[in-house]
Amino acid sequence: MAIEAAFMVPHPPLIVPDIGRGREQEVIKTIRAYEQCADEIADIKPETIIISSPHSVMYYDYFHISPGERATGSFSAFGAGNVRFSEEYDTELAGLIEKLSAKAGIPAGTKGERDPSLDHGTMVPLYFIREKYKGGKIIRLGLSGLPLETHYELGKVIKNAVNMTGRRAVYIASGDLSHKLQEYGPYGYAPEGPEYDRRIMDVCSRAAFDELLRFDKRFCEKAAECGHRSFVIMAGALDGVNIKATELSHEDVTGVGYGICTFYPQKDPYVKLARETIERYITSGEIIKVPDSIPVEMKDRKAGAFVSIHKNGALRGCIGTIAPTKGSVAEEIISNAVSASTRDPRFPAITADELSELEINVDVLSEPELISSPAELDVKRYGVIVSSGYRRGLLLPDLEGVDTVEQQIEIAMMKGGISYGDEITLHRFEVIRHK
pLDDT tens, residue by residue, 125-165: 999 999 999 999 999 999 999 999 999 999 999 999 998 88
Query: Does the pLDDT value for residue 97 go beyond 70?
Result: yes
Residue 258 pairs with which residues in a beta bridge? 251
**What letter represents residue 349's amino acid?**
A
- CATH of region 366-435: 3.30.1490.150
Ranges of CATH 3.30.1490.150 domains, the chain = 366-435
Distance CA 258, CA 251 (A): 5
Query: Does the pLDDT value for residue 2 go beyond 80?
Result: no
- Given pLDDT bands bounded at 50, 70 and 90, which one contains residue 313? confident
Cβ neighbours for 290, distance < 8 A, ≥ 6 positions apart: 298, 299, 328, 330, 331, 334
CA neighbours within 13 Å on the CB side: how many for 244?
Answer: 7
pLDDT at 180: 97
User: Residue 293's CB: how many other CB atoms inside 10 A?
Assistant: 8
Cβ neighbours for 241, distance < 8 A, ≥ 6 positions apart: 265, 266, 435
**What letter represents residue 391's amino acid?**
R
Ranges of CATH 3.40.830.10 domains, the chain = 3-265
Percentage of the chain lying above the pLDDT 90 cut: 91
- Given pLDDT bands bounded at 50, 70 and 90, which one contains residue 293? confident
pLDDT at 267: 82
Distance CA 99, CA 260 (A): 32
CATH pick for 3-265 out of 3.40.50.720, 3.40.830.10, 3.30.930.10, 2.60.120.10: 3.40.830.10
Ranges of CATH 3.30.700.20 domains, the chain = 267-364
Compute the average pLDDT of residues 72-92.
97
State the burial class of residue 42 (Cβ atoms within 10 Å of its Cβ: 0-12, 13-18, 19+). middle
* Distance in Å from the first CA to the final CA of the chain: 16
Class of domain 267-364: alpha beta
Distance CA 330, CA 338 (A): 13
Query: 393-408: per-residue pLDDT in tens?
Result: 999 998 888 999 999 9
Q: CB of 186 within 8 A of CB of 256?
A: yes
Query: Does the pLDDT value for residue 339 go beyond 90?
Result: yes
Mark out the alpha helices in 324-432 (DSSP H runs). 329-342, 405-416
**What letter represents residue 410's amino acid?**
E
CA neighbours within 13 Å on the CB side: how many for 24?
Answer: 17
Closest by CA to 212, choosing from 402, 8, 434, is 8
Cβ neighbours for 115, distance < 8 A, ≥ 6 positions apart: 57
- Given pLDDT bands bounded at 50, 70 and 90, which one contains residue 166? confident
DSSP string, 167-236: --EEEEEE---BS-B-TTSTT-B-THHHHHHHHHHHHHHTT-GGGGGGS-HHHHHHHTBSSHHHHHHHHH
Kindly state the DSSP code that residue 348 receives in the 8-state scheme.
P
Query: 266-283: per-residue pLDDT in tens?
Result: 888 999 999 999 999 999
> CA dist 9 to 3, 14, 129, 177, 414, Å?
17, 14, 12, 10, 50
Compute the average pLDDT of residues 365-376.
94
